[in-house]
Amino acid sequence: MLDAELFGKGPFGPHFTNLLLHAANTVLLFLLLRCLTAATWRSAMVAALFALHPLHVESVAWVAERKDVLSLCFGLLALWAYARHAQRVTRTESVRSRFTFHVSRFYWLALLFFALGLMSKPMLVTLPLVMLLLDWWPLERFKVQDSRFKFKV
């Protein structure tokens, strides 16, 4: 409805909005990868491949596929907020006791963006598993102690 109010009833508005969301998703992916890996050129290459991949053209070209680009936007924002929370907790872990759980504003942002992403498209229900994978690599919050795979949190 906002597209119709801003751009009229023609097809230009919804297509332009989908294109803007796809461009924002590309930038968010680049920033997230650079935040996680500190590899600028590799992150830029992955974001460029994401932007030009034919699989994502369908979501940009079809107005009915707005849910894909919108849920991806919220999903990437949730991953970014979670990564910031995990990096902050890891930095302050030595100061605090290991048995206290500090919840930063980034944790609440991650929950908010996750909820908004789920409202956009229920497929984002797998995002907590992706967050656990981020804890293992590249955030390295799980350490392997010996060859029997005992995890130290």
Is residue 131's pLDDT more than 60? yes
- Cα separation, 142 vs 71, in Å, equals 28
For the record, the structure tokens of 38 come out as 């500190």
Residue with tokens 């293992």: 136
Structural domain containing residue 71: 2-152
**Percentage of the chain surpassing pLDDT 90?**
59
pLDDT of residue 25: 96
Q: Domain count of the chain?
A: 1
pLDDT tens sequence across 31-56: 999 999 999 999 999 999 999 998 87
What pLDDT is attached to residue 96?
Answer: 54
pTM, full prediction: 0.85
Note the pLDDT tens digit of each residue in 75-117: 999 999 999 998 887 766 655 555 556 678 999 999 999 999 9
- Evaluate whether 60 touches 22 at the Cβ level (below 8 Å): yes
pLDDT of residue 37: 93
